[in-house]
Structure 1
Amino acid sequence: MAATLSTLAVTPMHSVAQTTASAAQDALARAPLRVEIDAPTDLRELLNRHLDVVRLLQAGAPGEQEFNRLLLAAPAQVRALLETEGYFAPLVEVQRAEAERPARIKVSPGPRVLVGRVEINAVGALGEALAKPDAADPNLLRLWRRVTNAWPLPEGSAFRVSDWSSAKAAVLARLRAERYPNAAIARSEAEINAEEHRAILRVDLDSGPAMVFGTVRVEGLSRYPESSVLNLKTFGPGTTYSEKLLLDYQERLIKAGQFGGVSVSTEPAGIPGQLDVIVRVQEQSAQQLTLSLGFDDASGPRVGAEHVSRRVFGTDWTGKGVAQLGKNKQEFSTDFYSYPSENLYRWLVGAKRTRLVAGGQVTVDTSARLGRTRDTERIERTYYGEVLYATALNRDTGERGTASAYSANYFWVHRDVDSVLLPTRGLTTSAQLSTGYASSTIAANGPFTRLNARLTYYQPLGSRTNRWYAIGRIEAGSVMARDEVALPESLLFRAGGDQSVRGYNYQSLGVERTNSKGEVVVTGGRYLATASAELARPISEKLSSFWIAGFIDAGNAGDKLRDLDPAVGYGLGLRWRSPVGPLNIDMAYGRRTQKWRLHLTVGVAF
């Protein structure tokens, strides 16, 4: 018969027969001490992690006296632990059989407490402003609405102490992020009605005074002008405090390229209601040379060199020269960017020469461009004029042609994602419009317009403990010109490769033509359509930065819409979500070629 701990654990039972009692005691003393927890799975895991008596056994062979002491204290500790999960009326029984060593803790948690009502109140300057009848500032009303909407613990949800703490932190952080950086929790209360299994939650947020920005002070400059820092800010003295403005400012400074480390903080200005902004930078060297060795679809094995001059001949310009030498692709480029002006625009001047061997054809493109670019938190815009000269050689027939194009271009990128480096939720959109005039030695001359757009959607799926991540991508392009107008090959479209249709060589999909030898060669087409779907998840909780993925891609390029015969590729991949961006390794099968192909990519394409 089982008995409670108070009956058994301290004094062993004695029977009338002394020899029987001694044998039972000896057997009990020799058996190892054990404790079994009878509770729902999630609560059993909680108790196994935190109960003192369990932790004592895990640490080694304890003495029976200490074991019994902790076993006596276990019911109170179980109740305290269960309260953190929202169970305030559990039944806890500790049992120990008379002739057996194991102890048993039986737990019936009872109903979980649910959130019954939530009260979030503003006190201090914000509370006084909102309390004015018919005179509250609409901006403050919208701010308070954003604060209360940040509350993640709605009525009817399960009450947990950890969720209660996180919810308070969420609304406080939201209030501190805009206008009131010194906000604090003046009072918080969770009133638990154990009989009705209901919690009434109250939080009073003291906003403190509203703050505005004062002056900006820069520390750490010696090599670059102060304007290289100040021109990147989008606020001035008197601008209402916003944490987002500071974070965006810091991100722009990092992306500018002159600084290896950037810190943006605030401190009291000495004037009530003002915060000065302190920018501390660590300058990069004025000159940098990088050598590389790698492999990709376009080049095959390749070697490369990149030289960056962050102050070209002492001017407020940055220059970058790149050389990439591979088996199938060789590329040389040089670009110059001015330091940003106060409206964040940069001037750009660039030139590039590319030689590409693909589909039995050798193309050499030479281009030069001049324009302006502006990069903000979510939107990147580039306007430029370009001159392009291209030659194409059919290696099988020896036929050679030249074409040139003069164009005005607009490139636009919009990023609405949770992380630019490692997105898991949101949408990115890129679009390019080019219009100009093309001429050729082998066909007619004439105007053209080129459109290209790409959308990538990120969406997490499933629960927090069983999370999957979906990625969908579509891309479309079109060149509009008279049929008899020949365009440089680089203005036409091809598909295939890492960021297009996996399972196929880089730009190996397009218009198939038969040469004079009767062989099929691939050239660019005037239309493009590709799509991709991918589903990924972390390998394990401990290896959360390593994901496995399954994907399917389809698409092609053609001279007519009706000629777009999609090629399909599918496979499996491994993802490493590193601090500097994702590294993707994919093994893809191309149905059309009936071959497997390895793809390696670094970073996120927009």
Structure 2
Amino acid sequence: MPALLFATLLLLQGCSLLSQKEPDQRDAADSPVTSESGASGREAFAVDVQAPDAVRDFLTRNLEIQRYRKLNDLGPVELSRLMVAAEANARELLNTMGYFTPTLTLELRETPDGKAPREVRITVVPGEITHVSDVHVDFNGPIAQTPESEERRNAIRAAWPLRQGQAFSQQAWDNAKSTALRSLTARRYPTGTIVTSRAEVDADRAEARLSATYDSGPAYRFGPLVVRGYQRYDPDAMRRIARIPTGADYDQQQLLDAQQRLASSGYFNSVFLTLDTTHDDPLSAPVIAQVQEAPLQKVVAGVGYTTDSGPRLSLDHIHNQMPLLGWRAVSRLYLDRDTQSLGTEWSAVPRDSGWRTFTAAQLKSEVSGDYTVDSGRLRGGESKASDHIDRSLFLQYDYASNHGFNAPPSASALSINWNWTGRYFDNANAPTRGQGIALELAAGYTLTGERLPFTRTYARWVGFVPAGTVYSDDGTQSRGARIQLRSEIGALIAKDSAQIPSTLAFLTGGDTTVRGYSFRSIGAVRPSGTVIAGRYMGVASIEWQRPFVYNGKISDWESTVFVDAGSVADKVGDLEAKVGVGVGARWKSPIGPISIDLAYGVDVKEFRLHFRFGFTF
């Protein structure tokens, strides 16, 4: 019930964001000219634009005459002057839309029974819209002088968005020039500029000939990293974290990636990287890092709620420079309905290769199937995080003690592990395209009972497949629908007699696995009917996500329909899918994506509400 109430409140808040302002409120907010007499609520005159929908909406929003509607002391002479100015203003606005031969008729009508005593009616026949007949893009500077830059020039021309045959408008023309300039300055030529731009319009033939010339400026290469604003942290360590490719051609994306690496390192509250284009040698331009350091130590408390585990409390302590070692330590206390854990991870600053040494320890008590498991884990090794790929190689010790009626025996093991995760999404926080894949491989020996070898393999994958495009009623907005596919497989291979810690085995079910079932409730079923973590696991999911149109506009909401299936067993032949089906909603909230799903567990014959915040892979 708390989860249902919380989800209902979020839905109501989301709907409130979709509501539109009343026309009178919008007009008042957009009218900077007011008078005391206007406070009575009745306008001096109304403006009625008669035109095709797109033209009417644009003129209604932007006509200058709208600013004077609240001036109740306007006389006939002043209003006539405003109407003359309104005609010229309307023609200018129509020109920006690509209509250069419009026919306009302005009338002043008495409307004593209307919301205003007079009405200015503007009737518009926009005429034929102007189309682009020719586009010419040229270059000056080094990009025009070197044969190896021909491919780059051709690529910028090919990506020019306002092409021959398309409708011309001032906004499309400005966007095209800006897009080409961004493409030019994104690599090698950060100081590129627009030298000349010209749009020649033949109104009689409704044609526009476009030309633009860009000056690339000198080619730049990355020089050394210069850090400003540091006090306690080693600037050479910052260089190793940023990994600026010194000596390589300037690339804006590489600069942003380096900035993100510094910002996410935990050492800084803010980071801003710029290329020093005032330097004497453009082939060794310094990269300026303006930083604001984070405190040496800090404590972060967090509270939350999930439909999987109920209320959640966490307490983190971060030490950015441990005594003697100089490593970064992150320690966490975590408490929820089913899990209590205390852990710490210490990591060194990356070396020039990008690899860093780390060690970690954790104590945990959690509900695992029908049992409670008290476990401990020690881990130490090497890790590396790059732009899209994280990898690690480490030695790990595991211990698990199971509690409950007829619980499996306690066990311990030592293993060597290799983990690899690749993320190729268009947006790491709220993806709509791309895919992610994670692999875990381990080989080890049991340390309890008979010493036996074992291997553990785990893989998961998420991918998005386009499934058409959804348009607003007027066709001006569009967003793609998609199908999200998800799968997980796991295998723990050893002799039946091997005593392997249950924390290395598999369970599934819950918000992010098989919806319609409680968290980690799907496992291997013992002859007594109790559920334990099993040696083999398989999960698959398909979900259709479609943008939701509200009041003719594409909203920040999406509707979903999904089918999940998963199974866990100690033998491959015993795998039997547990299926969950349902519907849900996705809200692109200001603080991140929020998901609400109502799922029916076919095997348990129950409905469950699932709520989660954010996207992680």
Q: TM-score, normalised by structure 1?
A: 0.84
Contact map agreement 2:329 2:345 (CA 8 A) in 1: yes
Aligned 8 A contact 1:383 1:411 in 2: yes
| Distance in 2 separating the partners of 1:31 and 1:120 | 50
Residue 86 of structure 2 corresponds to residue 66 of structure 1: no
Contact 1:461 1:468 in 2 (8 A): yes
What RMSD in Å do the two structures reach over aligned CA positions? 3.1
- 1:253 corresponds to: 262
Per-residue deviation at 1:66?
2.2
Which deviates the most, 203-212 or 492-501? 492-501
> Does structure 1 residue 349 correspond to structure 2 residue 356?
no
Q: Which residue of 2 aligns with 1:110?
A: 127
Query: C-alpha offsets along residues 396-428 of structure 1, whole Å, 9 cap, x if unaligned?
Result: x33331333333322222222333234343333
- Superposed displacement of residue 492, structure 1: 2.6
Alpha-carbon shift at residue 349 of structure 1 (Å): 0.8
Contact 2:507 2:534 in 1 (8 A): yes
| Amino acid across the alignment from 2:513 | S
Q: Which residue among 141, 146, 170 is the counterpart of 2:150?
A: 141
CA deviations over 1:60-97 (Å, ceiling 9, x no partner): 57433222222233333222211211222222223457
Matched residues, percent identical?
27
Q: Which of 149, 171, 177 lines up with 2:180 in the alignment? A: 171
SS at match of 2:163: coil
460, 465, 487: which one aligns with 1:453: 460
Which ranges of structure 2 fall in alignment gaps of 5 or more residues? 1-41, 113-117
Question: Retained in 1: the 8 A contact 2:308–2:610?
Answer: no
Q: Could you tell me how far apart the structure 2 residues matched to 1:59 and 1:569 are?
A: 60
Which whole-Å CA distance do the structure 2 matches of 1:223 and 1:355 have between them? 38
- 2: CA distance, partners of 1:550 / 1:229: 44
Contact 1:218 1:226 in 2 (8 A): yes
1:165–1:314 distance in 2 versus 1, CA, 3 Å? farther
The alpha carbon displacement at 1:307 in A equals 1.3
CA displacement at 1:198 relative to structure 2: 2.5
Counterparts in 2 of 1:461-540, with a 5 A limit?
461-463=469-471, 465-467=477-479, 470=482, 472-479=484-491, 481-482=493-494, 484=496, 486=498, 487-515=500-528, 519-521=529-531, 523-535=533-545, 537=547
* More displaced stretch, 541-550 vs 226-235: 541-550
Corresponding letter in the other structure for 2:290:
R
Give the Å deviation of 1:32.
Answer: 7.2
1:179 Cα deviation from its structure 2 partner: 0.8
| Bigger mean CA deviation after superposition, 225-234 or 292-301 | 292-301
The equivalent of 1:291 in structure 2 is: 301
2:170 alignment partner AA: V
| Equivalent position of 2:310 in the other structure | 300
1:226 counterpart = 2:235: yes
**Does the 8 A contact of 2:492 with 2:535 survive in 1?**
no
Distance in 1, matches of 2:179 and 2:129, equals 23
2:69 corresponds to which of 57, 62, 65: 57
Q: Which digits, 9 at most, give the CA deviation of each residue in 1:420-464, with x for residues without a partner?
A: 2343433333222333344664x9934324131222327594346
Query: Structure 2 length normalisation: TM-score?
Result: 0.83
- Tell me the distance in 1 between the aligned counterparts of 2:555 and 2:288: 34
CA contact (8 A) 1:112 1:158 kept: yes
- 1:340 is aligned to 2:334: no
Is the contact between residue 494 and residue 528 of structure 1 (CA under 8 Å) also seen in structure 2?
Answer: no
Q: Does 1:122 align with 2:139?
A: yes
Q: Matches of residues 541-552 of structure 1 in structure 2 within 5 Å? A: 547-552=557-562
Change beyond 3 A, Cα 1:291–1:52: closer
2:221, 2:282 within 8 Å by CA — same for their partners in 1? no
Residues 531 and 302 (structure 1 numbering): CA distance in 2 closer, same or farther, change over 3 Å? same
Aligned with 2:373: secondary structure? strand
| Residues in 2 aligned to 1:312 and 1:336: alpha-carbon distance in whole angstroms | 9
CA gap 1:490/1:58 in 2 versus in 1, 3 angstroms: farther
Q: For structure 1, which segment, 424-433 or 374-383, has the greater mean C-alpha deviation from structure 2 after superposition?
A: 424-433
Shift of 1:541: 10
Look up the match of 2:19. Answer: none
What is the alpha-carbon distance in structure 1 between the residues aligned to residue 192 and residue 445 of structure 2?
A: 60
Note closer, same or farther for the CA distance 1:123–1:361 as it changes in structure 2 (3 Å cut).
same
Does structure 1 retain, via aligned residues, the 8 Å contact 2:477–2:553? Answer: no
Matched, 1:597 2:608: yes
Q: Counterparts in 2 of 1:304-319, with a 5 A limit?
A: 304-319=314-329
> How is 1:78-477 mapped onto 2 (pairs within 5 angstroms)?
78-95=90-107, 102-129=119-146, 136-137=147-148, 140-235=149-244, 237-267=246-276, 268-271=278-281, 273-297=283-307, 299-393=309-403, 395=404, 397-438=405-446, 441=449, 445-457=452-464, 461-463=469-471, 465-467=477-479, 470=482, 472-477=484-489
**Does structure 1 conserve the Cα–Cα contact (< 8 Å) formed by 2:373 and 2:402?**
yes
1:357-377 deviations in Å (ceiling 9; x for gaps): 143212233222222111112
Change (3 A) 1:99 1:151: closer
Distance apart, 1:545 and its partner CA:
9.3
Q: Which moved more, 1:275-284 or 1:399-408?
A: 399-408
Any idea what SS the aligned residue of 1:307 has? Answer: strand
Task: State how far apart, in whole Å, the 2-side matches of 1:68 and 1:281 are.
Answer: 59
**Matched letter for residue 599 of structure 1:** H
SS in 2 for 1:564: coil
Between structure 1 and structure 2, the one with the greater Rg is 1
How many residue pairs are counted as aligned between the two chains? 562
- How far apart are the structure 1 equivalents of 2:616 and 2:263? 20
1:501 is aligned with what amino acid? Answer: V
Q: 1:47 aligns with which of 59, 64, 73?
A: 59
145-154 or 371-380: bigger deviation = 145-154
Give, as a single letter, the amino acid of the residue that structure 1 aligns with 2:380. L
Give the C-alpha shift of residue 169 in structure 1: 0.6
Cα distance in 2 for residues equivalent to 1:466 and 1:301: 38
Contact 2:44/2:74, CA 8 A, preserved across alignment: no
The Cα shift of 1:511 comes to 2.8
Measure how far apart 1:251 and its partner are: 0.5
Cα distance, 1:55–1:380 mapped onto 2, change above 3 Å: same
Deviating more after overlay: 419-428 vs 526-535: 419-428
Contact 2:584 2:595 in 1 (8 A): no
Unpaired runs of 5+ residues, structure 1, are 1-29, 130-135
Amino acid across the alignment from 1:377: D
* Deviation of 1:153 (Å): 2.1
Determine the C-alpha separation between the residues in 2 that align with 1:382 and 1:144.
Answer: 41
2: distance between equivalents of 1:573 and 1:317?
A: 43
Alpha-carbon distance in 1 for matches of 2:159, 2:328: 42
CA distance in 2, matches of 1:269, 1:163: 36
* Equivalent position amino acid for 1:496 in 2: G
**Aligned equivalents of 2:110 and 2:370: distance in 1?**
87
Distance of aligned partners of 1:597 and 1:107 in 2 relative to their CA distance in 1, 3 Å threshold = same
Query: Separation in 1 of the partners of 2:376 and 2:81?
Result: 84
Name the aligned partner's letter for residue 423 of structure 1. Answer: P
CA contact (8 A) 2:43 2:72 kept: no
CA shift, 1:207, in A, is 0.4
Distance (whole Å) between structure 1 residues aligned to residue 424 and residue 552 of structure 2: 29
Check whether the contact 2:547–2:555 (CA below 8 A) recurs between aligned residues. Answer: no
| Matched residue type, 1:128 | Q
SS of 1:230's partner is helix
